[in-house]
Structure 1
């Protein structure tokens, strides 16, 4: 099914919305970003760089984890789930988006099925990444704050079940949105895969000019609900949970400096048994390892906040016309940069959880020369 839309770049915002409010809820922002005649090779190059880092990085995480039984710990299995989501985005979504950036005026070359698949896969992956990062945080929290409570401890079987539920929920969450996707003929010479939001006259938000009563902005209720659910469940809740739990973990781990107990008992060391002293050294070593793991996790959370907040905040403002630009090129560039920023998680997750994790470096293939000393 292909829908025809005529778009005149010189039309005013008021004219555009009057023309489409009754037949379609395509926004000016969406039309501009797909109709633009500008090419952005530097953004395409940035996407390619992310893809070049993400594919081998995430593949190595999967390879190292699955090839070594000792690596199949709950936290490593969750990192594997991050790697799977990253690979799907890098192999499916980024190549399509790169092609659109290099050849923006070309016809959309794929079918309706591919149009919808190219939306549900990255959306489900981004949702899965948020859930998995939250699960890693909860796993670390229970492991450090309640180390003796076996019921709260994550096991491999629990992780497998969690991963299955994670993907089912992520996919079901985005199925309604993908049904809105259609292939449009713009100006009868360009095809684009865009959402056609259902209209609800009693629920849609319509902003009119007070003088002429003409429609200035038409915000479909369906779009508002999708954005709200997306922001709340994929960004806000995970961000609040991770910041809160990691703050508690950091307070616990950094409350007593490493070696403090050993130093305070140095006066009685001469009478201390060898076993007791070894236990203290082992305890301090374990504390240092836990701190290192938490530093890695916190680094990912900070990057999660830095790369996601601008995406959700600014893209919502653009999509709902709360901020406007007279230059179409600026809108397109900002939107593409925000989306690229959101996708960088597939690269930095692989680097932080892979390269900076001594367990992965220790079990890496010898020819990579990454083994931890």
Structure 2
């Protein structure tokens, strides 16, 4: 009786044939009990090369002796172990707020995978029946002390289009997420896979984005008049800090891990409007035609405005691209708005910086007399030469004794492939 075996082939290699076809060819060369396309269960094409296939013991043994095959081993069925996202993010199951504000909130998400007919939306559940019944299997919730970590196939910075805007903005759960799945899509994305399911275990940005979208809607339900930039600022400045380690740094995780419970009361926000983003495009060298394609209106660059840089955008984080082997100095102009619970408040700046950086905040103290009052400050950063393929991080934290308004900064050089 054929069993499912995992065939590991190491790192991805350049080839004139697609990885999927290479895997099929290997199965063709050892004849198997069924056609190669029927034998192949899954083709792994991201971080490494390999595939899963239905094989007999003899077929698995023959395949293990082929050139280019590192190992062949039986696939294991593991007991389901889950961590609920809201628990992982320390998100309360119940909050106190004004009930009417929970409705009529629409958050645009530039991603895919959500459609009105999905079984994950309540309106399509069997709850329309008179006596609905459902079976929910018990699962085991686990906690990993090393989490959160950024997966190896997650897109990293720097921002190649606008180097002085830090990307990514923030990190959110996106690995092995139980989520709705289209019935017209293959379960494994293989052309010969004809299985149909309503749910699948999915990984990627398409899973992390809905988490951030939901958090944005949650913040919006408390602050109906906040702009998208203010909501983004609240999410970023209250994110749970993540720290550099093997394979990850600020160019991997941005401001840190999403922390929705804290984002409702950030204390200060870095706000910005459409005109601020138009100015950033102007400072980045976009002409009038290009800008109007982006904005869809008659926006243009003001001739009276001096040319600045993209890092002048009132963004909650700061990034600086420098040449390796050369000393550097730059300034970031920022404006914060008081949205804390107290009208009168005083904030003091704290800087935590890599020893290779000299970071100064001026002024280092801010005083607010009213809600929604704005205050400006400058962050200056300088340092000696940095080698190639390097990053130097820093953090600016504004505190009034209750709130910690945290902005990450990273200075980085060119990265060779």
Q: TM-score range by the shorter chain?
A: under 0.3
Structure with the largest fraction of strand: 2
Structure with the largest fraction of helix: 1
Ranked by relative contact order (alpha carbons within 8 Å, sequence separation 6 or more), the top structure is 1
